[in-house]
């Protein structure tokens, strides 16, 4: 990657290199070799890793019981715009040193909010112009942009689902600008995570009206994108709860129903986040399979939750078994297209050193790279694919094929059962398959 000329914010850390599994250097990749060619494409281009600006450059380690623990030198100073610009330099140096080809942001994490929307937009434009220069100088690209419609108190009762039309209008104006700057930075996607689009109590909520408003809002976004010629893919990021008790985009399946109900399915795919999947009571792989089944697999927010805690802990994922299963489903679906793997993950509040940011991403990137290779082997060997195909083979011919083609009805099938009698039970062989998977994961 090309170098920038600004002073180093990470002077003691050099660009992370691939050194292979034998290395004892903790600041090296063991599995992620960005330049490695696989099927005529580099691993970097296969995986399309991305860094989440909000966690890695705005996360300060706050929790409900205590304030900032993670203090960065570039955040010092009085003028918030100068700080934002310097922080952006630090971020791009990090993106380069960690060998990430993409980054992602919310409007409000890259630039401070002004006293009016107009002033906020002016500040945002200044920071975006700087980001554009840094993108050009480094070759790092924008995977997606989005608007923060959840931090400011004005959004406490929702944005597009707010009972006050004035707040809806404000949210629309903010997304309009966020789409403009995403286009300006060549963003390949635009994400909608329904921050506070949900409710706490039905005593004060008109659920139907709120969901209708969300449908209207997204139609306006589609129309606006067309009008400015923004070609990036729109993505919905489902999450079942947190911050609100009932979020409207609960999971992928309910997201599909929502999009189809409002005639939006042509315009959206899903950004699936591991920790959101588990909060919904699903596995990561389940959410990927549901999106893929509808041709709506878009991108991944790569992280992990702690299953012993009931909230969105946004940890870096080093669970190769879980990631291998996810990768199998992603590769089977033909990959992520314009999407990528965005590390929507944060340091623990006790990990306060600069190098912790590197260790965290190295671990996540290595785990995904290893999982990618294992998944490719699993699919090339074809053992699971063959097992599953055999399991459904009765639908390939005869009356099974007629069922799939809807050529038969209950009367035909009732007659058939009179003739065939009792079906013969057949083992689903789960333990055998789990052992087979363990061979790949442990190898
Ligand atoms: C929140 C979350 C967001 C979205 C972007 O849980 O995942 O950071 O990814 O708004
Ligand atoms: Co996310």
Q: For residue 323, give both structure tokens.
A: 């990631």
Give bridge partners of residue 299 from the DSSP assignment. 271
Best mutation site among 301, 304, 311, 315 for ligand 1 pocket (most ligand atoms within 8 Å of CB): 301
In 15-85, which ranges are E strands?
Answer: 17-18, 28-29, 37-38, 41-42, 49-52
pLDDT of 72 over the 90 cut: yes
pLDDT one-digit tens code per residue, 342-393: 999 999 999 999 999 999 999 999 999 999 999 999 999 999 999 999 999 9
pLDDT score of 5: 52
Alpha helices in 301-353 (DSSP H): 320-332
Please check the confidence at residue 3 and state whether its pLDDT lies above 80: no
Ligand 1 nearest-atom number relative to CA 55: 8
Mutate to test the pocket of ligand 1, among 145, 193, 241, 255 (most ligand atoms within 8 A of CB): 193
pLDDT tens profile 124-166: 999 999 999 999 999 999 999 999 999 999 999 999 999 999 9
CA–centroid distance, residue 103 to ligand 2 (Å): 13
Read off the pLDDT of residues 318-347 as tens digits, 9 standing for 90 and up.
999 999 999 999 999 999 999 999 999 999
pLDDT given at position 29: 99
- Alpha-carbon span 122 to 113, nearest angstrom: 10
Instruction: Determine the pLDDT at residue 237.
Output: 98
Ligand 1 centre distance from Cα of residue 84 (Å) = 20
The residue count of the chain comes to 443
Report which DSSP code applies to 357. H
Q: How many CB atoms lie within 10 A of CB 203?
A: 6
Predicted confidence (pLDDT) per residue in 234-259, tens digit: 999 999 999 999 999 999 999 999 99
Residue 2, pLDDT > 90, answer no
Closest C-alpha to ligand 1, atom 10: 193
- How many angstroms does the Cα of residue 193 sit away from the middle of ligand 1? 6
Please say whether the beta carbons of 357 and 56 come within 8 A: yes
Per-residue pLDDT reduced to its tens digit, 262-271 = 999 999 999 9
Which residues carry out catalysis? 106, 109
For residue 239, which atom of ligand 1 is closest to its CA? 6
Q: Do 287 and 302 form a contact (C-beta atoms < 8 A)?
A: no
| The pLDDT value given to residue 6 | 64
Distance 419 CA to ligand 1 centre (A): 56
Residue range 49-60, pLDDT digits in tens: 999 999 999 999
Q: Distance between CA 386 and CA 391 in Å, rounded?
A: 8
The CA 301 to ligand 2 mean position distance, Å, reads 5
Expressed in angstroms and rounded, the spacing between residue 54 Cα and the centre of ligand 1 is 9
DSSP per-residue codes, 175-198: HHHHHHHHHHTT-SEEEEE-TT-E
Q: Which ligand is nearest to the CA of 144?
A: 1
Q: 3-class SS at 410? A: helix
Q: Which residues, judged by CB distance below 6 Å to any ligand atom, belong to the binding site of ligand 1?
A: 54, 106, 146, 191, 193, 237, 239, 273, 301, 312, 344
- The CA-atom distances, in angstroms, between 16 and each of 87, 215, 279 are 20, 44, 33
Probe ligand 1: pick from 53, 54, 171, 190, max atoms within 8 Å of CB?
54
Structure tokens at 378: 């699993």
Residue 227 has what pLDDT?
Answer: 98
pLDDT in tens, 272-305: 999 999 999 999 999 999 999 999 999 999 999 9
Q: What is the dihedral of CA 24, 315, 130, 268, to 10 degrees?
A: 130
Cβ-Cβ contacts under 8 Å for 423 (sequence gap 6 or more): none
Residues 6+ away with beta carbon under 8 Å from 117:
170, 173, 174, 177
Residue (of 306, 289, 308) closest to 346 by Cα position: 306
70 close to 355: Cβ distance less than 8 angstroms: no
Q: Which atom of ligand 1 is nearest to the CA of 242?
A: 6
CA distance 402 to 415: 14
Q: Please spell the DSSP secondary structure of 351-399, one letter per residue.
A: --SHHHHHHHHHHHHHHHHHHHHHHHHHHHH-HHHHHHHHHTGGGTSHH
CA distance 194 to 185: 23
Provide the 8-state DSSP code for 395. G
Q: What is the pLDDT of residue 333?
A: 98
What are the tens digits of pLDDT across the range 194-217? 999 999 999 999 999 999 999 999
Nearest ligand by distance to the CA of 106: 1
Nearest CA to ligand 1 atom 4: 193
Ligand nearest to the CA of 146: 1
Mean pLDDT, all residues of the chain: 97
Three-class secondary structure of residue 28 per DSSP: strand
Determine the atom of ligand 1 nearest the C-alpha atom of 271.
Answer: 9
Is the link from the previous residue into 243 a cis peptide, with omega within 30 of 0? yes
- Sort residue 56 into left (φ over 0), alpha (ψ -120 to 50) or beta: alpha
Q: Which residues surround ligand 2, an ion (CB under 5 A)?
A: 273, 301, 344
pLDDT at 310 over 90: no
| pLDDT the model gives residue 7 | 87
269, 298 in Cβ contact below 8 A? yes
Q: Of 374, 252, 244, which Cα lies nearest the Cα of 301?
A: 252
Closest CA to 44 of 56, 36, 52: 36
Q: Could you identify the atom of ligand 1 that is nearest to the CA of residue 342?
A: 9
């Amino acid at each position: 990657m090309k170098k920038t000329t600004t002073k180093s914010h990470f002077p003691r850390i050099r660009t992370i290199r691939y050194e292979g599994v034998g290395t004892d250097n903790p600041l090296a990749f063991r599995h992620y070799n960005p330049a490695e060619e696989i099927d005529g494409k580099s691993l970097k281009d296969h995986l399309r890793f991305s860094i989440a600006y909000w966690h890695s450059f705005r996360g300060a380690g706050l929790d409900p019981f205590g304030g900032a623990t993670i203090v960065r030198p570039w955040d010092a100073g009085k003028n918030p715009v100068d700080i934002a610009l310097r922080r952006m330099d630090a971020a791009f140096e990090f993106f380069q040193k960690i060998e990430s080809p993409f980054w992602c942001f919310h409007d409000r994490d890259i630039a401070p909010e002004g006293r009016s929307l107009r002033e906020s937009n002016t500040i945002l434009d200044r920071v975006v112009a700087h980001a554009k220069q840094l993108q050009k100088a480094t070759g790092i690209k924008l995977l997606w942009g989005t608007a923060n419609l959840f931090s400011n108190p004005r959004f406490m009762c929702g944005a597009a689902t707010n009972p006050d039309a004035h707040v809806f209008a404000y949210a629309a104006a903010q997304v309009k600008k966020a789409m403009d700057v995403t286009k300006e930075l060549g963003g390949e996607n635009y994400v909608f995570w329904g921050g506070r689009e949900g409710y706490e109590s039905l005593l004060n909520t008109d659920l139907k009206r709120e969901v209708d408003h969300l449908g209207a809002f997204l139609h306006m976004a589609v129309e606006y994108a067309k009008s400015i010629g923004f070609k990036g893919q729109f993505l919905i990021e489902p999450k079942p709860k947190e911050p609100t008790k009932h979020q409207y985009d609960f999971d992928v399946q309910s997201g599909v129903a929502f999009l189809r109900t409002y005639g939006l399915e042509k315009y959206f795919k899903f950004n699936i986040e591991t920790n959101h999947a588990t909060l919904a009571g699903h596995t990561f792989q389940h959410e990927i399979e549901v999106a893929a089944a509808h041709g709506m697999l878009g991108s991944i927010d790569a992280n992990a939750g702690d299953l012993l805690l009931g909230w969105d802990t946004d940890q870096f994922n080093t669970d190769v078994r879980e990631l291998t299963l996810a990768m199998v489903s992603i590769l089977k679906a033909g990959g992520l297209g314009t999407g990528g793997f965005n590390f929507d993950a944060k340091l623990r509040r006790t990990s306060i050193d600069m190098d912790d940011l590197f260790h965290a991403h190295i671990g996540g990137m290595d785990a995904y790279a290893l999982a990618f290779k294992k998944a490719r082997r699993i699919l090339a060997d074809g053992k699971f694919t063959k097992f599953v195909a055999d399991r459904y083979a009765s639908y390939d011919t005869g009356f099974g094929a007629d069922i799939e083609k809807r050529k038969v009805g209950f009367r035909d099938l009732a007659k058939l059962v009179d003739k065939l009698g009792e079906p013969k039970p057949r083992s689903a062989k789960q333990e055998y398959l789990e052992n087979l998977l363990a061979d790949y994961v442990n190898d």
